[in-house]
Amino acid sequence: MFKFCVLINWNIVWVTCFFFAQKSIVHAGINEGALSTVDYIRRDGYPLEIYSNITTEDGYLLDIHRIPHGKSQKKRRSQNPVLLVHGLFRSSQDWVFMGAERGLAYLLADRGYDVWLMNVRGSVYSKKHLTMNPDLDPKFWAFSWHEVGLYDLPTAFELIRNVTKRERFCYIGVSEGTTYLYVLTSLKPEYNRNITIAIDLGPIVHLIPTNNTLVKYGSVTEPLWTPLMRFFGLHEGSKIVRILQFLQNLLCTREGIFRILCDIGIFLATGGLNPAYLNKALIPVILEIGGSGSLLEVQHFAQNVNDADFRQFDFGREINLKKYGSVKPPSYNLTKVTSPHAIFYSDGDLIATTADAETLCARIPNCVYKHKIPSRNFSHFDFVLAENVLSLVYEKVFYLLDKYDDLSNK
Ligand SMILES: *[C@@H]1O[C@H](CO)[C@@H](O)[C@H](O)[C@H]1NC(C)=O
Ligand SMILES: *[C@@H]1O[C@H](CO)[C@@H](O)[C@H](O)[C@H]1NC(C)=O
Ligand SMILES: *[C@@H]1O[C@H](CO)[C@@H](O)[C@H](O)[C@H]1NC(C)=O
Ligand SMILES: *[C@@H]1O[C@H](CO)[C@@H](O)[C@H](O)[C@H]1NC(C)=O
Ligand SMILES: *[C@@H]1O[C@H](CO)[C@@H](O)[C@H](O)[C@H]1NC(C)=O
Ligand SMILES: *[C@@H]1O[C@H](CO)[C@@H](O)[C@H](O)[C@H]1NC(C)=O
């Protein structure tokens, strides 16, 4: 019984902290200033195209944003589009809300790139389906990053091809945004040909049991998640978000012990985020930007942490046998990921760890570049948030895009 209570407690702590991570960083009470992706791009004076209700094979409706060029209309000689893909519970906002000086979408557009911004199923702009209502139908949320990779990415590629007549793209993913592409190109290797280069910022693929206490112990409780989610009816992102919002307000808006608990949660959940690198002016904006997604995405990661393997969703023995023809779910075969990958990671990132990134690079056949950010202060969220992200990361991204983009056009 005691063990069970400890497990439940860890589970609650873990999920709560995860929420803090995605609601991100500091304290509630300053909720103003956040805009939608569309409003940011208009405010900042960049050209914008919106592709609404792009339909996936399994009926999800996606909104995809495009910044076709920078303010100056300068175009690159080769015009391979760049697709930017956000992480867990996030959206295309992550590439613009940092403003023109550090928003990667703007920086690329100003360098003459044709920039496409993904919004995966279940995220705030793509929370819709041909037949299922996300608020009423739990089945809407029955997906993990597996389905995003398998269905959403090809749909986005097809859209880009339809609009631009280009068949090869640069792919930049952050965090879970990297996972989707590994799913797709391992299961459908023909898509490797469509990727000129994939840039992985803090990739989450090869999950060696980490030293992040929360990830480690949170994952141990994974077998309890399915019954708990069923019992509480928590299949969808939004319901649990409401409950956690309550907890966040309780802890993070007060002083004393509450505030300390809140800080500890944030620190652990973000893998030790260093406030020194955070632009404080963005705090209210980051806070306001909510998020949405399926809890199964988190559960799928937890299963992978427990198994120390990158494999498909574990539905339990019976369904596995029916679905996969085996008791254990099959692993994704990383040998089939033949497109060139560039991997960025940091010792300060306790979620996508150095050990994981290096193992990943060694296991894929075409790891063309690997770069450890030379700062222990650089955490998982700093690939978007850090004040010095331009010099630490993006300058190298531009160099790589240039190099591989040109290669593909010789
Ligand atoms: C997209 O689909 C949603 C839900 O079906 C609908 O409310 C919305 O009007 C559609 N948007 C456009 C631009 O067609
Ligand atoms: C791309 O164009 C084809 C042919 O017109 C169309 O059938 C398909 O639905 C389009 N796909 C997307 C994602 O726009
Ligand atoms: C992917 O590449 C193949 C081979 O070059 C091409 O036939 C196909 O149209 C491309 N797919 C997309 C979505 O661009
Ligand atoms: C965990 O920490 C230990 C001791 O600091 C270190 O030797 C080990 O490599 C770390 N493991 C990972 C996966 O980072
Ligand atoms: C993984 O893919 C490689 C290359 O296609 C193949 O040689 C190997 O047999 C596959 N491994 C498994 C376990 O299927
Ligand atoms: C890391 O942050 C601390 C302050 O928190 C600062 O003193 C130190 O110089 C930073 N280190 C690097 C490598 O940026």
What domains sit in the chain, N to C, each tagged with a CATH number? 2-407 (3.40.50.1820)
pLDDT value of residue 295: 86
Q: Is the pLDDT reported for residue 2 higher than 90?
A: no
Q: Please work out whether the CB of residue 162 comes within 6 Å of at least one atom of ligand 2.
A: yes
Q: Contact at 8 Å (CB) between 154 and 183? A: no
Q: How far apart are CA 252 and CA 260, in angstroms?
A: 8
Residue 191 makes CB contacts below 8 A (sequence gap 6+) with 153, 154, 157, 184, 185
Query: Which residue intervals of 24-123 are DSSP H helices?
Result: 37-43, 104-110
Q: State mean pLDDT over 342-353.
A: 89
pLDDT in tens, 230-252: 777 776 665 555 565 566 667 66
pLDDT band at 5 (very low <50, low <70, confident <90, very high): very low
Q: State mean pLDDT over 30-37.
A: 61
Q: Please work out whether the CB of residue 54 comes within 6 Å of at least one atom of ligand 2.
A: yes
pLDDT value of residue 1: 38
**For residue 333, how far is its CA from the centre of ligand 5 (angstroms)?**
6
Q: Mind giving me the DSSP string for 247-295?
A: HHHHHHTSSTHHHHHHHHHHHHHTTS--GGGB-GGGHHHHHH-----BH
Catalytic residue among 123, 175, 219, 294: 175
- Name which residue leads in pLDDT, 235 or 19: 235
Q: Is the pLDDT reported for residue 21 higher than 60?
A: no
Entry pTM: 0.87
Annotated active-site residue 69? The verdict is no
pLDDT in tens, 130-171: 999 988 888 999 999 999 999 999 999 999 999 999 999 999
Q: Is the pLDDT reported for residue 370 higher than 50?
A: yes
**For residue 53, how far is its CA from the centre of ligand 1 (angstroms)?**
6
What does the DSSP 8-state code read for residue 221? T
What does the DSSP 8-state code read for residue 396? H
Q: How far apart, in Å, are the Cα atoms of 61 and each of 52, 140, 172, 306, 372?
A: 8, 11, 22, 33, 37
Q: Is the pLDDT reported for residue 375 higher than 80?
A: yes
Q: Please work out whether the CB of residue 210 comes within 6 Å of at least one atom of ligand 4.
A: yes
CA-proximal residue: ligand 2, atom 2 (nearest): 162
Annotated active-site residue 27? The verdict is no
Catalytic residue among 63, 349, 356, 382: 349
Annotated active-site residue 92? The verdict is no
For the ranges 38-42, 265-269, 295-299, the lowest mean pLDDT is seen at 265-269
pLDDT band at 189 (very low <50, low <70, confident <90, very high): very high
Q: Is the pLDDT reported for residue 360 higher than 70?
A: yes
- Percentage of the chain beyond pLDDT 70 is 76
Mutate which of 274, 377, 382 for ligand 6 pocket (most atoms within 8 A of beta carbon) = 377
